[in-house]
Amino acid sequence: MSFRIPCPQCGERSVYEFRFGGEYSIRPQPGADEDEWYQYNFVRRNEMGSQTEWWYHRLGCRQWLRAVRETRTNKVIRAYFPDETEQTDRGPGES
Amino acid sequence: MAQASPSEGFSFLLNDKPIQAKAGDSIGAAMFRAGVRVFTRSFKHHRPRGLLCVAGNCPNCLMNVDGTPNVRVCTTPARPGMRVAPQNVFPSLEFDVLAASQKFDWLMPVGWYYKTFTRRPVWNAVEPFIRKAAGLGEAPPSIDRFSGEDPDYEQRYVHTEVAVLGGGPSGLTAALEASRQGSRVTLIDEQPQLGGHLRFTPSDAERRRVLAGQVEAAQGVEVLSRAQCFGLYEDGLLGVVQLPRDGGEESLIHVRAERVVVATGVIEAPLLFENNDLVGVMLSSGVERLIGLYGIVPGRRAVIVGDGPRAGRIASLLKDSGVDVAATVRPDQVLSVTGAAQADGVRTAGGKIPCDLVVVCGHLVPNAGLLHQAGGSLDWSDENGAFLPTRLPPHVEAAGQVKGSDLTAAVPSPPAYPDSKRCYACLCEDVTTSDLRTAIREGFDHIETLKRYTTVSMGPCQGRMCQISSIGVCARETGGGMGETGVTTSRPPNPSISLGALAGPRHPPVKRSPLHHEHEALGAVWMNMGQWKRPRYYAPEPDWSEQRIVEREYRAVRERVGVVDVGPLGKIEVRGRDSGKLLDKVYTHRFGSLKAGRVRYAVICDETGTILDDGTISRLADDHYFLTTTTGNLEFVVQWLEWWLVETGWDVHIADVTGGRSSINVAGPKAREVLAELTDIDLETAAFKYMACRRGEVAGAPAVLLRIGFVGEMGWEVHVPADYGVHVWRSVLAAGKEHGILPFGVETQRVLRLEKKHVIVGVDTDALSNPYEADIPWVTKLEKQDFIGKASLGTLQSAAANERLIGFTMLEDGKVPEDGSSVMLDGRPAGRVTSARYSFVNGTAVGLAWVSDELAEEGREIDVRVGGKPARARIQQAAFYDPEGRRLRM
Amino acid sequence: MAERCAQSGATVVVERGWETVSHYTSPEEELEAVRRSVGLADLSRIPKFDVRGGCSDTLPELDAQAGIWPQRPGETLVTCPPESAAAVREQLDRYASAAGEDAPVYVSDVTAVYTALMLAGPESGNVLGRLADIDASDTALPNLDCVQTGVHHVHAMVARQDLGPLPAYLIFTGREYGEWLWDTVMLAGVSCGIQPFGSKAQQTLEAARP
């Protein structure tokens, strides 16, 4: 495995500069039931295809970014700092 | 043994015999010129083998050079003073006892181990002998054989736009073209000189000179000579191994290229006939290299096995070099090569033709392994007699002979061959055509299983010499075509690279406290805590036992005053208007409402309620917090805090200042008196309560003081900018001298904190520990609006516990359990000890352990395994020293 | 670092309250080594300021020798020569107080948080190539640009600040890695004949900057 991730700030960098932060999932709202928490904590979608996931650029700009990667070819289709996106993603910080 | 490339004649040693060499010779060439013909003994049958390819592709010249095993002497440059020795022979190349195994080859057909040693006792009995007899080469006892020092291996990184693999005419042309189009080019060539096969054909000398000259002159073309690509990985990463120009170890180069041009040419592979492995049987390109590169005449009288223009060309070359060409014979006309150890003739239907050199016009195989690795396919072409690379990924292309499209088959395929025990398909592993047929008849008729069962192509040549022949045999036996039979998967590294080069310079990161040299001067005995170097304790005399050393430091802290360097503690500055909000979100306790000047114990849990880290949080100002974390989790905590900040838009800035602060803990009943001499801050409890923080100066340095008590005595954690560290440390030691101050180390600190039952996250907790089971339920404030882990912690609070963290004291003298020992109940494991130490104040060992919920009762007696036997202990929930914490609040 | 330098027989002087290595062998010899091949100097004492909030592009004009190194959006590292420390700090504080309520700016002194080494000379790019997986070509890392990367898996910031015609790079890591970084760079530079150089040679070299 030696693909590169196009960090929005640092450019194309070896995947080994990053720490994988898991699949992108929406955190359950306060008051959500146990099953929703169970899904969020323990169940993975494990996409064959396009997966949105978190990466931390630990040997680089040390920022969290989200990447969309084709899990069959490891081609990273896009990588962005979540603040920049126009999507109404609810990331970890949204409560 | 690095020596400069010689420009004149010199010598090296083969065993103890000096061999003369000329400038530019490879070790093998010089040996051949000196008359050496047998270079190795084969792997299984110990047959004598000699130079075959002279290109580094076959296993016939693997020898031990200066202690390094498996060196291909046919391509390795000779240097003055080298020590060359054979391997895999007993006692010598000329007479190898194990060659007798050939007489018993009927007992050792292909796959014989699987069939013979089916009973464990039998295998256990013979294994040592087989191990001794098997294998190729011997690893040196120390990494550097003679000086005992480890050699330095270098690694480096190259970023380029176009990587061209191969310095032959196609590679040189591709490099020039890319460079003219404005690309940055890196040309990777395995030879010491550019030109590829142009180097050994005299008619091409001028063409070589011109092309190589253009490339060397071109702007933007970097040439890496003596470099081979051993792997073509994902996303344009190339693994390249390079030999240095002037001796020394090979180095690893990570090359990242946007485009890769593979111009690695063709490899000539041997044909199948009886005794095709005898010394004196050489490939035509091997003969071309001996003559063209080294000016060596390879024999007196030759028989050429080949056909058409190729055979004609090699015949002219031999005649021009003074070799008598006795005959040219078509491959299908050869019945066998005759001779005992060395070839002395070729037998055809018409009789034996005497000769001392058999020149084989072998298969021309595109060297396309890297293209296969890159994801391309290899499709058989009958016309070209080769597997041609196709369907290459967009960033990879093939150039030149490796494409295979202008090749002509050496023999029609699948090739005919004798079913013989002396017709070798695989020279590396001594796999004969008879072995292959047997295996296929036993059912291993797929090329992948045939390979694994017979080990054909699994030796040092990795299929270069044998792939085409073994596929041919398989195709013929199964009745399928070459294409249908297919090739096995090509995998890196090919060629091989030493583990040393892959590991690179052995210089792992080391973190040092600003006070490092102070500790050294005070006699610190060092320990590693992750990357940190920390003093375990300070040894006053070399003959003191560990217990005595620790007790001395322990008593200083409990009775007087001690000072410990806690520099490695993770330290984070959190600034911004919304800092409190973030800390409330991430930590389990309340921090938004923590008053300025106060310190609170802080725990992070994940969403399942598992403890991730602990530390302290001090509020220095409205928008300024100072966090400490466990030493090992600092990086994680920074990442975790940053993650929860994403997309909030909150005004929070997180800065890791761990290395920038020198942090010490002054602790003991006299701590106040010592510090009072160095600071104007009022240290009396009325002004500076336990769990408070103040800013001021200590010994003239700007400082943050936290009154906390990990070790259970009155004390302050003093944080100053790292550059003041040494000064403050020395000032504290000086001020404390009259009070009998001693520096103490990590081991003493561990004993002190254990007596207070203070938990260390990651030692006393693990990946399943939650605050309720770990006996710190008060850190969770479930009334908070929302925080990480709230949902799970709410459930856990009322749920039945699986296990609990309890304290225990040993009831038997002299029994000190090791961390990790089992807790036993009725002879069965019922828990585990996380920390245990001898407690000086209690006169017995104490510790923390996880036990099942039913067992976790005050006063309950349990057994702890000490030295393999159960020892009695009693559970105790209160701390083992000052359970009310009075000493902390003095 | 001072201990390490003293051990290698360097001449240490005190400049502005800081122990500094004036030279290891002689300033002339060290200058020669840097100009011919590559040299390494410990610049850990240079003032460094961490500016959070605001934007690197809007920072005021600082000292000519100051370095403005954007780390990520909303985080800038500023370096300057020791003699300008007070002036630069003042300018940064004014910048911070001028910032609006909605976008506060925080300035802190992080001089002690980082180790800074200067790798200088025609072979310095070569040595960098042995330390980090970055493209250090003139197009990818021009003068006054910076990148963050890993040196043997340790986070580092590499800032290019040429000395006139000589390429030069500042390598920053956490202070706790100081001695290790020095050893690592010296080891990587062995094949290029790397030599340490002190403040005297450094001052001469810096004078070549416009």
CATH of the domain at C169: 3.30.1360.120
Could you tell me which residues come within 8 angstroms of residue B127 by beta carbon, excluding any fewer than 6 positions away?
none
Q: Where are the domains of chain A?
A: 4-84
- CB contact (8 A) between residue C174 and residue B659: yes
Q: How many residues does chain B have?
A: 890
The confidence band for A84, taking pLDDT boundaries of 50, 70 and 90, is low
Strand partners, C59: none
Residues B588 and B651 in one domain: yes
Q: Which of B110-119, B512-521, B757-766 is predicted with the least confidence, judged by mean pLDDT? A: B110-119
Let me know if residue B783 belongs to a domain.
no
Residues C66 and C11 in one domain: no
In the predicted structure, residue A85 carries a pLDDT above the cut 70: no
Query: Dihedrals φ, ψ of A57, to 5°?
Result: -85, 75
Looking at residue C179, its amino acid is E
For A4, B234, B468, B491, C127, the CA distances from B231, given in Å and listed in that order, are 17, 10, 21, 8, 24
Let me know if residue B836 belongs to a domain.
yes
Residues B586 and B677 in one domain: no
Residues B613 and B640 in one domain: yes
Let me know if residue B430 belongs to a domain.
yes
Give yes or no for B790 touching A (CB within 8 A). yes
Query: By the 8 A CB rule, do B619 and B595 touch?
Result: yes
d(CA B572, CA C169): 28
pLDDT digits (tens, 9 = 90+) for B711-753: 999 999 999 999 999 999 999 999 999 999 999 999 999 999 9
Q: Which domain holds residue C120?
A: 2-45+112-206
% of chain A residues with pLDDT over 70: 87
Specify the DSSP class assigned to residue C209: -
Chain A residues whose CB is inside 8 A of the C155 CB are 58-59, 62
- CB contact (8 A) between residue B576 and residue C75: no
Chain A residues whose CB is inside 8 A of the B645 CB are 93
Give the residue-averaged pLDDT of B293-314.
Answer: 94
pLDDT digits (tens, 9 = 90+) for B310-338: 999 999 999 999 999 999 999 999 999 99
In the predicted structure, residue B668 carries a pLDDT above the cut 50: yes
> Closest Cα of chain B to C52: distance in Å?
7
- CB contact (8 A) between residue B656 and residue C174: yes
pLDDT digits (tens, 9 = 90+) for C101-149: 888 999 999 999 999 999 999 999 999 999 999 999 999 999 999 999 9
SS3 at position A59: coil
pLDDT of residue B619: 98
pLDDT of residue B202: 81
pLDDT of residue B2: 43
- CB contact (8 A) between residue B643 and residue A92: yes
Chain B residues whose CB is inside 8 A of the C54 CB are none
- CB contact (8 A) between residue B514 and residue C179: no
pLDDT of residue B494: 87
In the stretch 644-683 of chain B, residues with CB closer than 8 A to chain A read 644-650
pLDDT digits (tens, 9 = 90+) for B432-450: 999 999 999 999 999 999 9
d(CA B365, CA B269): 7
Residues B763 and B744 in one domain: no
Disruptive mutation site among B229, B647, B652 for chain A (greatest number of A CBs within 10 Å): B647
d(CA B178, CA B612): 53
The CATH number covering residue B65 comes to: 3.10.20.440
Give yes or no for A87 touching C (CB within 8 A). no
- A38 alpha carbon, distance to own chain's centre: 20
For B867, C81, C107, C138, C168, the CA distances from C144, given in Å and listed in that order, are 63, 15, 22, 11, 10
User: Last residue of a domain, which of C85, C109, C133?
Assistant: C109
The CATH number covering residue B278 comes to: 3.50.50.60
Q: Which domain holds residue B631?
A: 570-659
Query: By the 8 A CB rule, do B455 and B134 touch?
Result: no
User: Last residue of a domain, which of B92, B123, B149?
Assistant: B149
User: Last residue of a domain, which of B659, B694, B718?
Assistant: B659
Residues B70 and B91 in one domain: yes
The alpha carbon dihedral of B754, B757, B761, B763 has a sign of positive
The confidence band for A40, taking pLDDT boundaries of 50, 70 and 90, is very high
Give yes or no for C39 touching B (CB within 8 A). no
Q: What value does the CA radius of gyration of chain B take, rounded to a whole number of Å?
A: 37
Query: By the 8 A CB rule, do B569 and B628 touch?
Result: yes
In the predicted structure, residue B495 carries a pLDDT above the cut 90: no
- Comparing CB atoms, the residue among A58, A63, A81 nearest residue C155 is A58
Chain C residues whose CB is inside 8 A of the A60 CB are 148-150
Chain A residues whose CB is inside 8 A of the C145 CB are none
SS3 at position B671: helix
The encoded tokens of residue B82 equal 């080298």
Give the residue-averaged pLDDT of C140-167.
Answer: 95
Query: By the 8 A CB rule, do B368 and B312 touch?
Result: no
The confidence band for B112, taking pLDDT boundaries of 50, 70 and 90, is confident
Q: Which of B6-20, B260-274, B285-299, C33-47 is predicted with the least confidence, judged by mean pLDDT? A: B6-20
The confidence band for B129, taking pLDDT boundaries of 50, 70 and 90, is confident
In the predicted structure, residue A9 carries a pLDDT above the cut 70: yes
Where b means 16+ CB within 10 Å and e means fewer, C50-89 reads bbbbbebeebeebbeebbbbbbbebbbbbbbbbebbeebb
- CB contact (8 A) between residue C150 and residue A10: no
pLDDT of residue B172: 97
The encoded tokens of residue C5 equal 């330098």
Could you tell me which residues come within 8 angstroms of residue B636 by beta carbon, excluding any fewer than 6 positions away?
B612, B613
Q: What is the architecture of the domain spanning A4-84?
A: 2-Layer Sandwich (3.30)
> Closest Cα of chain B to A24: distance in Å?
12
Disruptive mutation site among A3, A12, A17, A57 for chain C (greatest number of C CBs within 10 Å): A17
- Comparing CB atoms, the residue among C133, C148, C153 nearest residue A61 is C148
Mean residue pLDDT of chain C comes to 91
Give the residue-averaged pLDDT of B147-172.
Answer: 88
Q: How many CB atoms lie within 10 A of CB B872?
A: 13
Let me know if residue B500 belongs to a domain.
no
Mean residue pLDDT of chain B comes to 93
- Comparing CB atoms, the residue among C45, C108, C153 nearest residue B509 is C153
The encoded tokens of residue B880 equal 């083992």
% of chain C residues with pLDDT over 90: 75
The terminus-to-terminus CA distance of chain A in angstroms comes to 36
- CB contact (8 A) between residue B646 and residue A21: no
- CB contact (8 A) between residue C72 and residue A63: yes
Chain A residues whose CB is inside 8 A of the C71 CB are 61-62
Residues B226 and B173 in one domain: yes
Residues B429 and B554 in one domain: no
Disruptive mutation site among C148, C149, C172 for chain A (greatest number of A CBs within 10 Å): C148
Residues C38 and C84 in one domain: no
d(CA B78, CA B889): 77
Let me know if residue B503 belongs to a domain.
no
Nearest Cα neighbor of C196 from C58, C19, C15, C4 is C4
User: Last residue of a domain, which of C94, C109, C124?
Assistant: C109
Specify the DSSP class assigned to residue A79: E
SS3 at position B725: helix
d(CA B101, CA B46): 8
Per DSSP, helices labelled H in B366-442 are 369-373, 433-441
Residues C39 and C56 in one domain: no
Q: Which of B97-101, B276-280, B306-310, B697-701 is predicted with the least confidence, judged by mean pLDDT? A: B97-101
- CB contact (8 A) between residue C179 and residue B512: yes
Residues C120 and C155 in one domain: yes
Give yes or no for C129 touching B (CB within 8 A). yes
- CB contact (8 A) between residue C187 and residue B575: no
Query: By the 8 A CB rule, do B299 and B346 touch?
Result: no
> Closest Cα of chain A to B568: distance in Å?
20
Chain B residues whose CB is inside 8 A of the A2 CB are 233-235, 237
pLDDT digits (tens, 9 = 90+) for B458-471: 999 999 999 999 99
> Closest Cα of chain B to C135: distance in Å?
6
Residues B873 and B842 in one domain: yes
> Closest Cα of chain B to A28: distance in Å?
10
For B226, C2, C4, C117, C195, the CA distances from C8, given in Å and listed in that order, are 37, 10, 7, 17, 12
% of chain B residues with pLDDT over 90: 82
Antiparallel, parallel or unpaired: β B424-426 and B227-233: unpaired
> Closest Cα of chain A to B786: distance in Å?
7
- Comparing CB atoms, the residue among B156, B514, B656 nearest residue C129 is B156
Q: How many CB atoms lie within 10 A of CB B321?
A: 17
Tally the domains of chain C.
2
The CATH number covering residue B431 comes to: 1.10.10.1100
Let me know if residue B509 belongs to a domain.
no
In the stretch 37-76 of chain A, residues with CB closer than 8 A to chain C read 58-63
Residues C141 and C130 in one domain: yes
CA atoms within 13 A on the CB side of B71: 25
Disruptive mutation site among C18, C147, C175, C182 for chain B (greatest number of B CBs within 10 Å): C175
Chain B residues in contact with chain C using a Cβ-Cβ cutoff of 8 Å = 152, 154-159, 184, 254, 256, 505, 507-514, 516-517, 532, 567-568, 573, 575-577, 651, 653, 655-661, 721-723
Specify the DSSP class assigned to residue B391: S
Strand partners, B626: B573, B618
In the predicted structure, residue C9 carries a pLDDT above the cut 80: no
pLDDT of residue B149: 59
Let me know if residue B638 belongs to a domain.
yes
Give all chains having 3 or more CB-to-CB distances under 8 Å with chain B.
A, C
Residues B349 and B239 in one domain: no
Let me know if residue B502 belongs to a domain.
no
Give the residue-averaged pLDDT of C9-17.
Answer: 72
The confidence band for B168, taking pLDDT boundaries of 50, 70 and 90, is very high
The helix (H) or strand (E) run that includes residue B824 is: strand B822-825
Nearest Cα neighbor of B378 from B497, B252, B488, B528 is B488
Disruptive mutation site among C113, C177, C194 for chain B (greatest number of B CBs within 10 Å): C113
Residues B465 and B354 in one domain: no
Chain B residues whose CB is inside 8 A of the A62 CB are 638, 642
B vs C, Cβ pairs < 8 A, gives 100
Give the residue-averaged pLDDT of B873-881.
Answer: 95
| Residue of chain C with shortest Cα separation from A83 | C73
pLDDT of residue B145: 47
- CB contact (8 A) between residue B510 and residue C134: no
User: Last residue of a domain, which of C65, C90, C109?
Assistant: C109
Disruptive mutation site among C50, C55, C72, C77 for chain A (greatest number of A CBs within 10 Å): C72
Query: Dihedrals φ, ψ of B206, to 5°?
Result: -65, -45
> Closest Cα of chain C to A61: distance in Å?
6
Residues B589 and B485 in one domain: no
Residues B144 and B186 in one domain: no
pLDDT digits (tens, 9 = 90+) for B843-865: 999 999 999 998 899 999 999 99
User: Last residue of a domain, which of B106, B122, B149?
Assistant: B149
In the predicted structure, residue B832 carries a pLDDT above the cut 80: yes
| Residue of chain A with shortest Cα separation from B639 | A56
In the predicted structure, residue C13 carries a pLDDT above the cut 80: no
Residues C102 and C128 in one domain: no
- CB contact (8 A) between residue B657 and residue C110: yes
The CATH number covering residue B822 comes to: 2.40.30.110
d(CA B436, CA B413): 17
- Comparing CB atoms, the residue among A10, A14, A63 nearest residue C147 is A10
For chain C, counts of helices (H) and of strands (E) = 6, 12
Looking at residue B395, its amino acid is H
In the predicted structure, residue C57 carries a pLDDT above the cut 90: no
Chain C residues whose CB is inside 8 A of the B154 CB are 130, 191
SS3 at position B300: coil
